[in-house]
Every structure is written in structure tokens, then in C-alpha cells.
A = this chain, B = another copy of it.
């Protein structure tokens, strides 16, 4: 394995130089390296020939490092531990103990959900790092295929060859109203009842908003105004102060009702039920820290 004509110094040479220094003789070094003395003698001489420098002074039957040898020893002591560590780390990669889990998020409630689940996961997998990305040039599915992310959290699974989606969270999408809102006491709201309201949503395309696709649009209704807000907290603040109504997961509203004076109202008689899925490449099914995340997510779903 010579790769370049120029490259002479191999890892094995450094191992030999270090072993000879530690053991004090070629023969002893050969033993620790599980080789014969002859093999080391040959290799050492060849290295010296190629470098054009003596590495040891031969004085009778002992080897004393030359200046070049002393320098090489310092190189060996510096670089060999780094190579050893690299191999150890790769072994962790191989065993699936170490890795980076890159999440892609396609919806705002997904993000809220991930926050809850990531912290027990990190505790269980200390050698795994987590990264979250939210913008994708070719959509979440494309990011999965391009290996930009490893897990996609989305309400819209796409059953496509090479990808696996698993439901991890069920929730009901509800209307959120502020204090003293006329709809607050209703068992449910009908589309027409929003035609005079200001609807506040996250800033995404309308066909990705369930209030539209599964509630307003089928009934041919539009709200009087439509405002977009980035963050959930501000959105709830707006609703609590009577500036409009919003559509959010019921669990999120209930969690935040202690903080903001808001109440959930069912969307339509039947309600709007949603699911969040995680998707990953089938090729990655064997990565155990990835599987572990999916399992953890599923177990959370059971417990609710």
C-alpha cells in the first residue's frame, strides 16, 4: 500500500520507533508487536534507507536514537495516540454508540413535541448529538434523501420507497380563543362562525394549515383577517388579548392555559384529529441510536 512514491513514513514505522524506545531493544519491541526480531530489523533498515537518515546508532548490541530518531520518537508519541483515539471513536460509530441525529421539522407543533422528547433521549444516549434543521430547499423528504437530515418529523408522511414513517404523536387540532370570546362556551365551532374573525397562524402556505384544508376550505369559508406570527408564545398572547383566534394542538393549549387566559374549542362536531410522524431512511434502520429514538417516541405516545 504505497499510495504515493513520496510517502515513506507509515503508521507502522512510528509504532516500531515507539516500541523500541519503550522496550529498550528491537527484540523486546518485536515481542510486544507480535512480530519477529528479523521483521523489525528489515523494516527498520528499509525505513532508514528510504529516509536517508540513521534512526539509531548501532553500538555493539544496543540501539541509541540519533537526532533524527529522537525527533521521530516525538512525532510517534504525538500522532499515535491520535490515531488510536480515531479508531476507538470509529468503533463507537460502528457499534452505533456514537453519532449525530439530524432532525428535520416540517411543522410548528412538531417542534414543540420534539422539545419534550429530546431531553430524556440525550440522557439515555450521551454519545449522540442532536441537531435540528427547519429550512429545506427541496422539502423535508428531499433533505432525507440527500442525507441532510436523518429523521424527519412531519404531519405529512409520504410512503415512498426507501423511507419509513411511524406515527409518534396523536393530537386534536382545536381553535384557541381568548377570555370573554363568544365561542368560548360552545361545544364546538362551525366554519361560518369564523367568517368575522381574525385568524392567526404560523407563516406557512395555506395548504399546509389544517384549519384551512380540513375545516374552512371544504366549507368555502374565509376568515375576515389572516395574520401570521412566528412564535407560539406571541401567538397565544395575541389570542389572550382578544386580537384574534388561532388553531393549535389541544395539548399545547392546555399546557399553556395556566400561563395565558385561552381556551380550546373543538373544530367542527367531529374535531380535527392529527398525527405526527417520524420518517427515516430504511437504510438507517440498523442504526441503534436512531431506532432508540423512534422507540422512545413511540413509548411516549402509548403513555398518553
Contacts and interface: CB of A to CB of B under 8 A. Distances in A.
Given A3-B16, A79-B79, A82-B78, A9 B89 contact: no
A183 B95 CA distance: 90
Given A4-B33, A34-B4, A82 B75 contact: yes
A10 to B, nearest CB: 5
Interface of A: 1-12, 15-16, 33-35, 43, 51-53, 57, 64, 67-68, 71-72, 75, 78-79, 82-83, 86-87, 89-91, 93-95, 99-100, 147
Given A8-B87, A10-B12, A67-B100, 6 more contacts: A6-B87, A9-B86, A52-B94, A67-B99, A68-B94, A79-B79
Given A9-B83, A10-B10, A67-B99, A35 B3 contact: yes
Given A4-B34, A7-B12, A67-B93, A86 B72 contact: yes
A216 B3 CA distance: 72
Nearest to A4: B33
Contacts of A99: 67
Copies of this chain, whole number: 2
Nearest to A55: B90
A163 to B, nearest CB: 15
A51 B1 contact: no
Contacts of A91: 51-52
A35 to B, nearest CB: 7
Contacts of A68: 90, 93-94
B43 A1 contact: yes
A7 B3 contact: no
Contacts of A83: 7, 9, 75, 79
Contacts of A6: 87
A67 B71 CA distance: 34
Given A67-B93, A78-B82, A7 B15 contact: yes
Nearest to A102: B67
A121 B15 CA distance: 36
Nearest to A86: B75
